[in-house]
Amino acid sequence: MNGGPLPKAAQRFYRPTPARRELLALRSLVEIEQISQHELGRHIGVSSAMAHNYVQALVGQGYVMTSGETNRSMRYLVTATGRTRLALLMREYASEIAGMYSLAKTEVEQRLRQLWDEGVQAVVVFGAAETGELIYSAVKSTPMRIVGWVDNDVAKHQQRFGDLTVCPPYTIESCHPDAVLIASSGQTEGIHRQLRHLSKKGIAIVTL
């Protein structure tokens, strides 16, 4: 997929921005009232000193109250104002994720249409995970057909994607596809090697 990414200005939560760290800090403090600064820093991806600074900023904004004299006894309470702020950040985060998903889906649709124009009409999808779900959603907007779903993970066999059941890779030929779309996020080269015998039988191997 070669489409452009979301503008950086729109990536408030995808990248390690102050907004993302504020969201993670508030969520962590809601879930764990008694948490060390070291642990909080680990949750939000900063040092203990920086975690302390974030907590002080949240206290100063009225989002968090503290009690206790030492690290061992310190407790944090996210105020009603802080919970309102957290809810707002969560809505903005969800909106950004939805936008990124929409962009990714559009890119996949464009790639599938390109493959269709090249003569690929029926495909088997290799990989029963998030990328596979994206392909399943995108293909509905194209004339292409998914005729099979396979995965190396035995635990995923018999899972359902719409009206298709995930099967072992040895079933690919029985589906009579024009191509196999590799939707696995890892070990792509290994899957290519695993499937290269199909290329000799006229079945294209494609990585999105």
CA dihedral 106, 112, 117, 120 (to 10 degrees): -170
Q: Which of 35, 8, 30, 33 is CA-nearest to residue 19?
A: 8
Q: Which of 158, 152, 145, 137 is CA-nearest to residue 195?
A: 152
User: The CATH number of the domain where 74 resides is what?
Assistant: 1.10.10.10
Are 19 and 60 members of one domain?
Answer: yes
Q: Tell me whether residue 112 is in a domain.
A: no
Distance CA 59, CA 80 (A): 13
Distance CA 189, CA 201 (A): 19
Q: Tell me whether residue 87 is in a domain.
A: yes
Q: Tell me whether residue 35 is in a domain.
A: yes
Are 70 and 16 members of one domain?
Answer: yes
Are 27 and 76 members of one domain?
Answer: yes
Q: Tell me whether residue 111 is in a domain.
A: no
Q: pLDDT-derived band of residue 72, with 50, 70 and 90 as boundaries? A: low
Residues 132, 136, 139: CA angle, nearest 5 degrees: 130
Are 93 and 131 members of one domain?
Answer: no
Residue 1 has a pLDDT of 47
Between 69-78, 85-94, 114-123, the lowest mean confidence (pLDDT) is in 69-78
Are 88 and 159 members of one domain?
Answer: no
Are 132 and 181 members of one domain?
Answer: yes
DSSP H helical ranges for the chain: 18-31, 37-44, 48-60, 80-117, 130-138, 188-199
Residue 123 has a pLDDT of 97
Q: Tell me whether residue 104 is in a domain.
A: no
Are 91 and 133 members of one domain?
Answer: no
Residue 168 token pair: 């072992």
Ramachandran angles phi, psi of 150, nearest 5°: -135, 160
Judged against a pLDDT cut of 90, whether residue 69 lies above it is answered with no
| pTM, entire model | 0.66
Residue at which a domain ends, from 47, 66, 97: 97
User: The CATH number of the domain where 197 resides is what?
Assistant: 3.40.50.720
- Per residue in 172-201, pLDDT (tens digit) is 999 999 999 998 766 788 999 999 999 999
**% of the chain at pLDDT higher than 70:** 89
Residue 15 has a pLDDT of 67
Q: How many domains does the chain have?
A: 2
Are 203 and 123 members of one domain?
Answer: yes
Q: Tell me whether residue 103 is in a domain.
A: no
With residue 77 as reference, give the H or E element that holds it: strand 75-78
What is the domain range of residue 138? 118-207
CA atoms within 13 A on the CB side of 8: 2
- Per residue in 13-34, pLDDT (tens digit) is 666 688 889 999 999 999 987 8
Residue 12 has a pLDDT of 66
Residue at which a domain ends, from 29, 64, 97: 97
Residue 103 has a pLDDT of 86
Mean pLDDT of the chain: 88
